[in-house]
Amino acid sequence: MSGEQRPSLNLEEIRELVRIASEADIAELEVEAGHLRVAIRKAPRASPAPVAPANPPAVAPSTPAAPEAPAPQAPSPHWVPVTAPMVGTFYRAPGPDQPPFVQEGDRVEAGQTLCIIEAMKMFNEIPAEVSGRVVRVLAENGAPVEYGQPLFLIDPQG
């Protein structure tokens, strides 16, 4: 055996690299340390803005085309966002054939699991930070999420 140690990255160092890449808005980052190579690539963002047509005032009163839009369109200032603590893939349920952890309208307690984010083949349970009612689920099941991206809105008064 040789006394030479190969440098490597631990999980915390990898998470820090992901955080730095996300905060610095870096599209791609590769790091090699010994036998380990980490490549971080951001998926292109889908733009939600083009969904609204340019002429809604003229059409909206006569056409009830958006059934979900009226009620929770404007977030209340007291709603608490639950954000992604890491970059990964968002899953609403513990498995493909299982029901979601929570639905919109469900009452949750602080510490209750809301979803899972898979990052680097590790499944991380994301808990509610406050007790309240889930007002909105903001991420799509199976979609990539970024560090700091809002995933849920919770009404602590609900």
* Residue 33 lies inside a defined structural domain of this protein: yes
- Expressed in angstroms, the distance from the first to the final Cα of the chain is 63
Residues in the chain: 158
Cβ atoms of 124 and 137 closer than 8 Å = no
Let me know whether 90 and 32 are in one domain: no
Let me know whether 96 and 36 are in one domain: no
* Residue 98 lies inside a defined structural domain of this protein: yes
* Residue 106 lies inside a defined structural domain of this protein: yes
- 80-83 sheet: strands from edge to edge: 80-83, 150-155, 132-137, 107-108
Instruction: Name the domain count of the chain.
Output: 2
* Residue 71 lies inside a defined structural domain of this protein: no
* Residue 144 lies inside a defined structural domain of this protein: yes
pLDDT along the chain (158 residues), means of 10: 58 71 67 68 50 45 47 68 95 93 95 94 93 95 94 92
Residue 103, domain extent: 79-155
* Residue 51 lies inside a defined structural domain of this protein: no
